[in-house]
Chain A
Amino acid sequence: MMTDHLCLKTVLLGLVLSLVAGCSRSQEYPNRPITLVVPWAAGGGTDRCSRQMAAHLEQELGEHVNAVNATGGKGVTGHNRGLGARPDGYTLLMATLELSMMHWSGLTDLTYEDCVPLMSINEDYAALFVRHDAPWKTLGELEQAIRDNPGSLKASGTSSGGAWHLALAGWLMAGGFDVDDVVWISSTGSNPSLQELISGGVDMVCCSLPEAAALLEGGKVRTIGVMSPQPVAGYEEVPTFVSQGRDWSLGGWRALVLPPGTPQPVVDKLKTAVRRIVTGETAIVSGGSAAEGTPSIQTFPEFMDAAGFDRTWREGDELQTFFAETDEKFGVLLTSDAMKSVNTERFNSMTWPAVLMGLIGLTLVALVATHFAKGKTPVTDVPETVAKADSTETAQEPISRQLTGRGVLNFALIVGGIVAYCLTVEKVGFPIAAGGLLLVLLLSLRTRVSVGVLVTVATVPLMWQLFAGLLRVPLPRGDWGF
């Protein structure tokens, strides 16, 4: 017991000291890790830009900047997360053009007006790709083919109603076609679409130039044109739609934004940092190539060029006007009668779930029927050694015999504890919420109080270090900053 107590005191002292040390840090923004919310999956274009931006920001601000992918719901999830966060400058969002689209299709109320824009860092225009052996060389030839056989060609690139689908639809409408004259095959992104293209599943893919760079360079696909006002830097040989007589352009953008209500000094500080980054005034050490030896220094624009991304940047009023223009363009497209007729589903979205529910019902009926037919639950004969372990594993005995007051209490405390954790953690912070949860559960399972406290005090800071420090997975912080 003596040693127990001594040990406990030392650990507690250590914890208090580390807390004090934590509080004595600079009060000026930023003084703790910053989270950059990325609404798209790891490995994609937005993710790559964001992680590079995070590395530069980190150097510029002197605090960790962690990129977190919050994916799903066609971008709704991430944008909601980023713009709904506490407006203290510790959560940034890499917004994408879906912010100008989602509200038109009624997926969310968020618009570009619900954020504090810092700077747009990139604009990638839609381009049209066909297989290398496709019969059409120019936009004119392709349009003639569509005119001759409307509805026979298939295109893909993103989900139905996604940005690249709208780009294609806008082109068709500008050319006087029906939106359905090219059948859009919904897909989960540019990679699976390009796979479909080279395997012959679709005839053309609409996506940005860097997304298809590898296949383009390998000669597997060709471009018909890019939907930009001017030729794209790095792809000067690709003709624009405008130069081929079709006045249509549409591009995606990525912009760093903050939740509304962020204090002006924080916004200004971040703006200065981001401006320095996009103009190439900052640099991070880059390993370069093993064959060439010495590591080099890379600026953000150098990275964007190397990865094939456009690096047009806009800020202030220019950015606001740009946002407003894109938003209007999408509004016209998404509310047009032609697009509405495409958006009404080809297939009823509830058919498949209904079929599944029907099958589940049938299976349940069959299970009940077999149960009564046999009079009891069928017990398969298994070798004895297996059967012994199995009796604890599948809990064959009736539930009523398993229930004891304590057991039910334990059960309820675990479930209730997790719920309580979720409800309080944003207020009190991870250490207190997790410590409370752990201690309550330890005690409810009849661990001695001293052991319980010791385990809690030892584990929670360790987990904090492990996730927030070592793995840099941001854990929730409360109102008191930890």
Chain B
Amino acid sequence: MQAIGQVFAGQTLLVILAAAAYGIFVGAIPGLTATMAVALMVPLTFFLNDVQAVAAIVTTVTCSIFAGDIPATLVRIPGTPASAAYASDSYALTLKGQHERALSISLVFSVIGGLFGTLTLCVAAPQLATFATQFTSYEYFWLYILGLTCAAIVSDESRLKGALALLIGLLFSTVGLGTDYSVPRLTFGSDDLITGINFIPAMIGLFGLSEVLRNALAIGRGDGDAAPLAPPPVESTGEGDPTTEWPGTLQFAVRRKFSLLRSSVIGSVVGMLPGAGADIAAWIAYAVSKRFSRNPEQYGKGSVEGIGDATGANNAALGSAWIPALVFGIPGDSVTAIAIGVLLMKNITPGPDIFDASKDPAQAALVFSIYVTFVLANLILLPLGWAAIRGGNLLVRIPRRILLPLIVLFCVIGSYALNGSYFDVTVMTVMGVFGFILELFGVPLAPIVLGLILGGEVEHKFLQCITKDSSPATFLASPVSIALAVICLALWAAPVAKTLLKGKSNIPT
């Protein structure tokens, strides 16, 4: 009760409102991740009390992960890596003039997913944390393999091209000085490359700059340099006012209630594992969604089902990422790592006792206020997200010849801002041209990004495993490992099974 009082104190509500606006703003700027949004806020938390500090962090993250969908939809630059899985889908809808539909689905599914993640955190944190800490390098190895499998199978229009993209991403991830080696690899003597290829500038280049380059070439042909990116809305989808999208979106959410539940569960489970986060959750949910969909051919070309499921999962992951952080002080993602630092600074030490009101009522109240803030943050996201969507509506009306140079400038600043490095700008530019060339040959870009994100991890975990014990049998020694391996296998084998069942449109589950 005390906690509710603390959260609803006037000042705290003001902090939440400001953090929400800030989160949407930063999340919508490509290159500025949710982690960075929180890191930039740390000095401000010095001046806030403990409840306000935690509320500010929780709200910022919740809002920025949704806001990452906005530039992904409008200009195909994922605002945060968590939006990369479905950027092609939502951008395809924009090109058809349906960006409001895409974004309102993103918003509603984000909120529902986020609330589910909060529920997981409230109900079962101590029990689930025990499960999460059973993950050793073997289980992580299989989890990352599952993530990579998902990237490969979502592009099954041309499986070979999808595999090619994934392999390229994995190869890029080996550049530089890794954890396991004392000599840098594939740097060709360049000092800059020792750092490796950062996936944020790579992502901005592959998705954003390549699209600008393609448009710039097309403008030379004379078609539509004054035209905006998106055609005017088709009549049947309303007159450009997102409010007309609400009834349809809500109906859609009700119709997809089971798949939404599935995605939220996937998001919550992946989110609470330290070292896996919202981005991997989005990928796995997207791939599973496609596997079970009746319209898998639409995935990658504007599937609202894929967008909804993946965006629900990445927001669900946020709440459950706090589970290992609060119970063991082991952060579930980079954001909770910063959050733990802030908690320690406020004299709060995470641990199993933190939930026990009989031991320390103040700490237990704080934990409760985290739950309340998560709920509030998700609710406040609805009106603010709606306002952001309206704002984005103006963006797609800007003529291309003005919009494209502005996007170029944002790509440059966004890739610079992350690390303050010109090398990152170079990476962004090279990846832009590279992505442009790959798209000419119909190679999907999203698997490259996941390959870059997971490549280092999967190699690292594999090496950890074989350093511990060189016998291959240990890879399947635990029940969790076996379960994950079986899921991987099933995802690969499903299309074969489908063929054997003579093209029935629905896979038996």
Does B251 make an interface contact (CB < 8 A)? no
Does B421 make an interface contact (CB < 8 A)? yes
- Pick the residue among B181, B217, B329 that contacts A410 (CB under 8 A): B217
Of B278-286, B335-343, B494-502, the one with at least 4 CB within 8 A of chain A: B335-343
C-beta contact mask, A191-214 vs B, less than 8 Å → 1, else 0? 110111011111000000000011
Of A139-147, A249-257, A321-329, A437-445, the one with at least 4 CB within 8 A of chain B: A437-445
Question: Which residues of the partner chain A approach B196 to less than 8 Å between Cβ atoms?
Answer: 72-73
- Asked if A76 meets B158 with Cβ closer than 8 Å, knowing A349-B183, A353-B186, A407-B217, the reply is no
Instruction: Sample 11 A-B pairs with CB under 8 A, ordered by A number.
Output: A154-B468, A185-B137, A213-B329, A218-B328, A287-B45, A290-B51, A345-B183, A378-B158, A389-B96, A414-B212, A415-B429
Task: Enumerate chain A interface residues (CB-CB to B < 8 A).
Answer: 35, 41-44, 47-48, 51-52, 54-55, 58, 67-74, 76-77, 80-81, 105, 107, 154, 159-161, 183, 185-188, 191-192, 194-196, 198-202, 213-215, 217-218, 220, 284-292, 295, 298, 303, 306-308, 343, 345-347, 349-350, 352-353, 356-357, 359-360, 363-364, 366-367, 370, 377-378, 380, 382-383, 386, 389-390, 392-396, 399, 402-411, 414-415, 417-419, 421-422, 425, 434, 437-438, 441-442, 445-447, 451, 455, 459, 463, 467, 471-476
Cβ contact within 8 Å between B337 and A198: no
Cβ contact within 8 Å between A195 and B42: no
Residues facing A in B442-492 (CB within 8 A) are 442, 459-460, 463-464, 466-468
- Asked if A389 meets B301 with Cβ closer than 8 Å, knowing A48-B341, A192-B274, A407-B217, the reply is yes
Cβ contact within 8 Å between B179 and A437: no
Cβ contact within 8 Å between B349 and A217: yes
CB distance from A33 to the nearest CB of B (A): 12
Does B266 make an interface contact (CB < 8 A)? no
Question: Which residues of the partner chain A approach B194 to less than 8 Å between Cβ atoms?
Answer: 72-73, 76-77, 107
Nearest 7 Cβ contacts at the A-B interface: A214-B329, A407-B220, A43-B337, A218-B351, A406-B220, A72-B195, A441-B405
Cβ contact within 8 Å between A438 and B405: yes
- Asked if A418 meets B218 with Cβ closer than 8 Å, knowing A73-B195, A357-B171, A447-B401, the reply is no
A303 to B179, CA, bound (A): 31
Cβ contact within 8 Å between A291 and B362: yes
Cβ contact within 8 Å between B164 and A411: no
CB distance from A385 to the nearest CB of B (A): 8
Chain B residue with minimal CB distance to A407?
A: B220
Cβ contact within 8 Å between A404 and B133: no
- Pick the residue among B137, B340, B421 that contacts A43 (CB under 8 A): B340
Residues facing A in B412-459 (CB within 8 A) are 412-413, 416-417, 419-422, 425-426, 429, 432-433, 439-440, 442, 459
A388 to B158, CA, bound (A): 19
Of B33-41, B77-85, B253-261, the one with at least 4 CB within 8 A of chain A: B33-41
Question: Which residues of the partner chain A approach B439 to less than 8 Å between Cβ atoms?
Answer: 394-395
CB distance from A418 to the nearest CB of B (A): 5
Cβ contact within 8 Å between A346 and B467: yes
A421 to B248, CA, bound (A): 46
Question: Which residues of the partner chain B approach A214 to less than 8 Å between Cβ atoms?
Answer: 328-330, 340, 344, 349-351
Residues facing A in B135-156 (CB within 8 A) are 135-137
CB distance from A413 to the nearest CB of B (A): 8
A289 to B289, CA, bound (A): 44
- Asked if A55 meets B177 with Cβ closer than 8 Å, knowing A394-B439, A421-B412, the reply is no
Residue from A183, A394, A445 whose CB has the most chain B CB atoms within 10 Å: A445
Cβ contact within 8 Å between B50 and A288: yes
Does B99 make an interface contact (CB < 8 A)? no
C-beta contact mask, B36-59 vs A, less than 8 Å → 1, else 0? 101110110111111111000000
Size of interface on B: residues with Cβ below 8 Å to A: 130
- Asked if A349 meets B164 with Cβ closer than 8 Å, knowing A217-B349, A410-B217, the reply is no
Question: Which residues of the partner chain B approach A199 to less than 8 Å between Cβ atoms?
Answer: 133-136
Cβ contact within 8 Å between A471 and B40: yes
Does B170 make an interface contact (CB < 8 A)? yes
Does B95 make an interface contact (CB < 8 A)? yes
- Pick the residue among B6, B46, B421 that contacts A55 (CB under 8 A): B46
Cβ contact within 8 Å between A395 and B163: no
CB distance from A46 to the nearest CB of B (A): 11
Residues facing A in B326-374 (CB within 8 A) are 328-331, 334, 337-338, 340-341, 344-347, 349-353, 361-362, 365-366, 369
- Asked if A442 meets B331 with Cβ closer than 8 Å, knowing A72-B176, A345-B182, A408-B220, the reply is no
- Pick the residue among B177, B180, B366 that contacts A73 (CB under 8 A): B177
Cβ contact within 8 Å between B168 and A360: yes
Chain A residue with minimal CB distance to B194?
A: A73
Question: Which residues of the partner chain B approach A405 to less than 8 Å between Cβ atoms?
Answer: 220
CB distance from A25 to the nearest CB of B (A): 23
Question: Which residues of the partner chain A approach B338 to less than 8 Å between Cβ atoms?
Answer: 42-43, 47
Chain B residue with minimal CB distance to A419?
A: B429
Question: Which residues of the partner chain A approach B262 to less than 8 Å between Cβ atoms?
Answer: none
A159 to B456, CA, bound (A): 13
Question: Which residues of the partner chain B approach A437 to less than 8 Å between Cβ atoms?
Answer: 405, 408-409, 412
Known contacts A54-B43, A73-B184; 13 further A-B pairs (Cβ under 8 A): A42-B338, A43-B39, A68-B419, A160-B182, A183-B467, A185-B467, A191-B274, A195-B275, A217-B349, A394-B442, A408-B217, A445-B216, A445-B219
Chain B residue with minimal CB distance to A293?
A: B49
CB distance from B152 to the nearest CB of A (A): 11
Question: Which residues of the partner chain B approach A473 to less than 8 Å between Cβ atoms?
Answer: 32, 40, 417, 420
CB distance from B311 to the nearest CB of A (A): 21
- Asked if A218 meets B137 with Cβ closer than 8 Å, knowing A306-B345, A399-B440, the reply is no
CB distance from A9 to the nearest CB of B (A): 21
Cβ contact within 8 Å between A395 and B362: no
A353 to B184, CA, bound (A): 12
A360 to B179, CA, bound (A): 24
Cβ contact within 8 Å between A185 and B302: no
Does B323 make an interface contact (CB < 8 A)? no
Question: Which residues of the partner chain B approach A407 to less than 8 Å between Cβ atoms?
Answer: 216-221
Chain B residue with minimal CB distance to A72?
A: B195
Does B390 make an interface contact (CB < 8 A)? no
Cβ contact within 8 Å between B345 and A307: yes
CB distance from B4 to the nearest CB of A (A): 12
Chain B residue with minimal CB distance to A397?
A: B440
Does B213 make an interface contact (CB < 8 A)? yes
- Asked if A382 meets B179 with Cβ closer than 8 Å, knowing A437-B408, A445-B219, A446-B401, the reply is no
Question: Which residues of the partner chain A approach B136 to less than 8 Å between Cβ atoms?
Answer: 196, 199-201
Does B14 make an interface contact (CB < 8 A)? no
Question: Which residues of the partner chain A approach B209 to less than 8 Å between Cβ atoms?
Answer: 414
A357 to B186, CA, bound (A): 12
- Pick the residue among B2, B160, B369, B420 that contacts A474 (CB under 8 A): B420
